[in-house]
Chain A
């Protein structure tokens, strides 16, 4: 069987996949990407490259993905609907496929009011589900969203989507996942998990509807680096659910950095045991250096 990407290969063989996030720099220095790439090389099957994450302008995800490709690392290029209309989105999908990007994660995007250009105009021409469907139709049927035909080369993309098991209305969360699968998502990367109980409730429903057999679910983990970061994520990042007992562990520890690492290891062990989970997605914000030991200690090395 021909796999579009290494990520698809690992997932299709039923192995637990590992993806890790590499945030592009707030500047044009390519070394910032290569350095992060060097640190994490061999630790993951593919590397998510964020797209102006938290609505802060950074090096484009396309260019950053290209730098990773040159290093021999496989990118998961993230594309948000916040900054582009349907024309620019589709044009970027064609361009990404042309330069060898094979995984794209479709997200609506953090609202511009949270970032460093709150006066900008958000686009939101289409939403993430419509974007997923658009790529699927480009890939499978060779048609653009308007119905116009693609003339030379259908984009060969393994389509990803995000899921947040912790947001409200809670009862709708699995319905929304199901819509993403129906739209054409091949893999799902979840919001970082801190609340294992809530994640398990979500996964129970996912399994009971058989969705874990229709899509590859990759569970998100973020090691907490400090108390400050814990509070920031807890109170200021929309959609993140850090339960009190986790926050208290960070607060009461003499070595919060160590504690955050231990919490992440425990979470990974819980997630590994969860039926229906197909992989692990590590988002180590400004702490990429921790990824190798986290992956090693969790028994994920060497990568297949």
Chain B
């Protein structure tokens, strides 16, 4: 892909990120950090892409570790966020009406 197109995507996605998280109640800082943390586990895709191209034992080994790391990041991140947020369920009505 054209580098200029890619930079355009970089800039636009960055702005969306800024806007979507403009103001968050303190209560949700920890879950939000944990949730965004899970999303950057997307690096897993990098491992999935490269492992088909790369050859040799060391490359394969490094990529299996990278895929395992990425999977831990994604699966663990989303699960832990879900556990945190489940605890708020049903007790947040007042807060929601306020905002």
Chain B associates with chain A: no
